[in-house]
């Protein structure tokens, strides 16, 4: 069963987008790849990229101390805090009121998808700087407009949106970055501990540099898959649907499995 068949099997149950290609940035398979979805935690990769740009410029340093707090400016005005009940990464919460290195927060943001760590990093980096990454590499359809759990902004229609194609463009940029920032970001992505989507569809031990995201009706993943016996490929899958979460994860894994089967001749997947 090919990728098109897998998508046909869930037709009418939501919105599904796929982008598949190599690190040259040229797609070999697209399905609704320009349609934006609520980004969930996939927006954390552009945040990390914006952070590393400021580290390179000297504005920030990975070893600089950041006081852990849970009070942030809302994009809709006023203040908000991250809901601890919806943050599945507890370590940052245990450091409340303490100073931790910025690099430690970045690791928590990407490898365990900490929402609190994300908003602390985003507060330093700035929403505009994070969004500028998408503006540079993406189509103009995707945007980062607020922090995680900014419920007032969400109620006002201020949302973070990403398309499969734009996340793929960001991943291609990371994959082709030969500098220290590229190395740093790729290592963070490879250390992701939430591996129920793309990594589940490829053989155990395969290096996958990926960032996923999930919320109610949302399950996304995008990454660079590096087979030992073929060229690396980039795959992004976004699902906003009525599928049970486990089924959405399985769908993404099945798409990844099909891409893996065609890794020696990815163009044949068309």
Residues linked to residue 211 through DSSP beta bridges, in sequence order: 222
Please give the sequence-ordered ranges of beta strands (E in DSSP) within 163-260, or none if there are none: 207-215, 218-226, 233-241
Structure token pair of residue 133? 């990454």
Residue 1: band (very low, low, confident or very high) from pLDDT cuts 50, 70, 90:
confident
Residues 188-244 pLDDT 10s: 999 999 999 999 999 999 999 999 999 999 999 999 999 999 999 999 999 999 999
Residues linked to residue 114 through DSSP beta bridges, in sequence order: none
Residues 76-102 pLDDT 10s: 999 999 999 999 999 999 999 999 999
Q: What is the mean pLDDT of residues 69-80?
A: 98
Rounded to two decimals, the pTM is 0.98
Reference 129, options 57, 71, 74; nearest CA is 57
Q: Domains for the chain: give ranges and CATH numbers.
A: 1-35+163-270 (3.40.710.10), 43-161 (3.40.710.10)
């Amino acid at each position: 069963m090919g990728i098109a068949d897998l998508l046909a099997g869930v037709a009418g149950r939501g919105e599904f987008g796929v982008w598949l290609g190599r690190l040259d940035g040229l797609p070999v398979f697209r399905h609704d790849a320009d349609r934006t979805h609520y980004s969930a935690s996939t927006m954390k990769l552009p945040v990390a990229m914006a952070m590393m740009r400021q580290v390179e410029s000297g504005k920030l340093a990975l070893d600089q101390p950041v006081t852990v707090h849970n009070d942030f400016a809302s994009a809709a005005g006023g203040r908000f805090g991250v809901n601890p009940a919806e943050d599945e990464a507890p370590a940052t919460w245990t450091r409340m009121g303490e100073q931790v290195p910025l690099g430690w927060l970045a690791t928590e943001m990407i490898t365990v998808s900490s929402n609190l760590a994300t908003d602390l990093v985003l507060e330093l980096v700035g929403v505009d700087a994070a969004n500028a990454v998408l503006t540079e590499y993406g189509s103009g359809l995707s945007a980062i407009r607020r922090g995680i759990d900014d419920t007032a902004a969400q109620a006002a229609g201020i949302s973070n949106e990403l398309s499969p194609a734009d996340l793929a463009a960001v991943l291609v940029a990371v994959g082709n970055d030969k500098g220290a920032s590229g190395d740093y970001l790729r290592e963070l992505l490879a250390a992701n501990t939430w591996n129920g989507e793309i990594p589940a569809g490829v053989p155990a031990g395969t290096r996958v540099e990926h960032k996923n995201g999930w919320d109610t009706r949302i399950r996304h993943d995008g990454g660079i898959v590096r087979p030992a016996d073929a060229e690396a490929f980039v795959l992004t899958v976004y699902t906003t649907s009525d599928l049970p979460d486990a089924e959405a994860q399985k769908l993404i894994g099945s798409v990844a499995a099909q891409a893996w089967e065609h890794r020696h001749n990815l163009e044949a997947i068309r």
